[in-house]
Amino acid sequence: MKRVAIVGGGPGGLFTARILAETCGGLCQTTIFEALDRLGGKIITRSFKAAPVFYEAGTAEFYDYSRFGEDAVRDLVEKLGLKTVPLRGRTVILGDRILNTDGDIRRKLGESTAAAIEAFHVRCAGTQSADDYVEMYWRDDNVSPLAHKNFAEVLNEIPDEMARRFVETAVHTDVAAPPHLTTALNGVKNVLMDNDDYMSLYAIEGGNERLVKRLVETTKSDVLLNAPVTKVAKTAQGRYRVSFRRDGRIEQDDFDFVVMALPNYWLQGIDFEGRRLRQAMEAHLAHYDKPAHYLRVSALFKEPFWRKKLKGSYYMQDVFGGTCLYDEGVRHPGLQHGVLGWLIAGTEALALSNLSDSDIIRRVIDTLPAPLAHGRELLIEAQVQRWVGTVNAVPGGNPVHELRKRHQPEPKEHPGLLTVGDYLFDSTVNGVHDSAEFAAGVVMTELRRAHYAIPHDELVPSEATDGALGAGYHDQYAGDMTYEESFAEYFSEYYTVDLIRTIWGRKPPYKLLDVGSATGITLELFDKLGVEAWGIENSAHIHSRTLPKWKHRNFLGDVRALPFEDGQFDFVYDTCLCYLPEEDLDTAISELFRVVRTGVFFGGITSDMTKEVIERHELFCGVQSLMTTWEWAERFMKQGFRMAIVDPKVLKKAWRIECASNEGDYPWYPDMKTLRSCFFTKPAVLHDVRGPVFESGPAANGRQSPAQLFDSAP
């Protein structure tokens, strides 16, 4: 059994451990190293001394994307039996003016200011749809003009000064940095957080740390507390030696994988031994060295005196650059006292952190606006929690790197050392879960590759076979049965046509290319359903068995150089990409993008298929590019494709088709999310990775692209 060290017992470390236990618990054992005496990192719920009343000292909320489909964090919260509380807040306080509604804005700030605020929000929404916001097409981010401006420049395009102040106040704590220290793209994305069409917020009833406690209760990891890691080095045997301090002495232990689940600033205190690894980590740290800061002040009052004046669960106030006030009582039903939690962000939080707790508390309480000033007399107790440098002002970095590069700083000689953190995504708990899921997927792939290694070297594509699978692959396709004899077990034309109809709304007739068509059996079966199917196969051995009737449509060729015209096919059905070396995938997928008009059904082998189906069918035989479906999706999106399934209802229908096709047999995909990552659409609006957004087709004429919305002042 392989050993995995997880350095950091915050959400990233706990998520990674749980995912590994669920996906490959029988293949590895995890050990969590935590420098402090508790697990949970920035998710921490505490109680006041004067009364048994809880407050959030760290992470205040979670993002809810569940209406767009699967939401991994929300699903986990519910799976662990925790109840949630929705958080809503539209109130902005400017000076002594409390603005709860749009009507308040018009009356107290004027119609022109209200119009300027609305216009800015419309411009922000025009940069990306809610679906794109959730999917995070990072290559689009890199070519967006917003990535090359700072947020202050965009805010200064707002013609009304009071409107600019309103927007800056409302977004400041989400960005956690002054506008000039983050990109315009990051700023705009955080503005969209206040748009109900893009996302919503929630907290965990009884305290957010209940999530940590449930994760700890269910963990299968060995846990070492008060054990800060000091060094990571590669051994002569190819393992990773982790040095850590415990009980006043340095101890060492060796592992097969190391996952660094630490904030960027904590990583800088670890010695990465060896020139190559050290330089790679230096480059990694430098790319994400954009520290942002938080300071939390939680105050217990005799009563919630503000509720008659303020509406919602939280409020934004124009003090300390823009501060968020949380009504902590909404997540603790039945609370008689009042608790306000001030979240101060950016350089203001950094500056205040130099003061004593008492000085910070005094300054914060003094900022209560005149309509709420009487509340100062109701103060019972206040507590301060500093979070200096714990988040990122430009999450994901600029430019944004592909996922492998984010998580494997040195893949050539140290592929088993991975990084996990919210700074690699969007500085949220949801982001750190995404990071943990990707890193765990990389580890799982390598564990399964080693465990299910099949010693059939003659089947692996080679120069002798012109890069095609060896003859034995198709002659012993399923045990002793040939491809033709076992074909029906692995292919159903009805299944494929049903999925295309469900996902893209297309019924035959249409034109389809089968990539990896072997003898071309599929062409005849598709033809009976009204589908004009063509094939491409690179194995001369199996292609030679093509029936004469279909030789004019079943080509002997290479997916990396397709002998077809641009846009010749409506759909592509692929089963061959996974048998190519990774270095050829970009070329092959770009060819699919060129010849297809609508979309691709990727039916290749992935490392995250179910354990049972992998074992039964020896699926990894001959596979050269073994990756999770998420990594395959990244490959397709890199070449311009988009996820084809964006409607949760469509996904559920597709999943029912998948489950019905496996009735009485083991399922191929473990869940809907995995299945979703097998279908890709060629968008009408193309995003060229080499330059600005461009559009194709008649719809492009006379229409402003999203990338142009902030190209110039209104």
pLDDT tens digits along 55-101: 999 999 999 988 887 899 999 999 999 999 999 999 999 999 999 99
Tell me the pLDDT band of 702, cut-offs 50, 70 and 90.
very low
* Omega before residue 509 within 30° of 0, cis: yes
3-state secondary structure of 484: helix
pLDDT, mean of residues 159-172: 97
Mean pLDDT score of the chain: 91
Residues listed for the chain:
714
pLDDT at site 476: 64
Tell me the pLDDT band of 591, cut-offs 50, 70 and 90.
very high
Q: Is the pLDDT of residue 697 over 60?
A: no
The least confident of 433-442, 459-468, 551-560, 629-638 is 459-468
pLDDT at site 477: 63
CA neighbor of 212 nearest in space, from 358, 348, 76, 409: 76
pLDDT at site 171: 96
CA distance 161 to 157: 10
pLDDT at site 454: 64
Q: Which region holds residue 193: left if phi is over 0, alpha if psi is between -120 and 50, else beta?
A: alpha
Tell me the pLDDT band of 709, cut-offs 50, 70 and 90.
low
Beta strand 54-56 pairing with 45-47: antiparallel
Share of the chain above pLDDT 90, in %: 82
Tell me the pLDDT band of 136, cut-offs 50, 70 and 90.
confident
Tell me the pLDDT band of 689, cut-offs 50, 70 and 90.
very low
pLDDT at site 269: 93
pLDDT tens digits along 300-348: 999 999 999 999 999 999 999 999 999 998 887 777 899 999 999 999 9
Q: Is the pLDDT of residue 627 over 80?
A: yes
- DSSP letter string, 171-217: HHHHHTS-GGGSBHHHHHHHHGGG-TTT-EEEEETT-THHHHHHHHH
Question: 539 φ, ψ to 5°?
Answer: -95, 110
- Burial of 422: CB neighbours in 10 Å, binned 0-12, 13-18, 19+: buried
pLDDT at site 134: 86
Q: Is the pLDDT of residue 708 over 70?
A: no
pLDDT, mean of residues 393-400: 95
pLDDT at site 461: 60
CA neighbor of 692 nearest in space, from 714, 675, 709: 709
The least confident of 63-72, 230-239, 306-315, 366-375 is 63-72
- DSSP letter string, 532-549: EEEEEE--HHHHTT--GG
CA neighbor of 51 nearest in space, from 298, 325, 381: 381
Domains of the chain: 2-42+211-289+395-448 (3.50.50.60), 63-74+82-202+291-392 (3.90.660.10), 457-683 (3.40.50.150)
The least confident of 262-266, 332-336, 614-618, 640-644 is 332-336
CA distance 714 to 708: 11
The least confident of 510-519, 668-677, 678-687 is 678-687
Beta strand 694-695 pairing with 685-686: antiparallel
Q: Is the pLDDT of residue 240 over 50?
A: yes
pLDDT, mean of residues 565-589: 97
CA distance 260 to 269: 12
Instruction: Name the DSSP class of 145.
Output: G
CA neighbor of 328 nearest in space, from 40, 43, 54, 44: 54
CA neighbor of 30 nearest in space, from 58, 63, 8: 8
CB distance 295 to 386 below 8 Å:
yes
Q: Is the pLDDT of residue 706 over 60?
A: no
pLDDT at site 330: 86
**Structure-token pair, residue 364:** 């914060």
pLDDT tens digits along 413-459: 999 999 999 999 999 999 999 999 999 999 999 999 999 876 554 45
Tell me the pLDDT band of 619, cut-offs 50, 70 and 90.
confident
pLDDT, mean of residues 504-526: 96
The least confident of 372-386, 458-472, 670-684 is 458-472
Q: What is the pTM of this model?
A: 0.93
pLDDT at site 703: 33
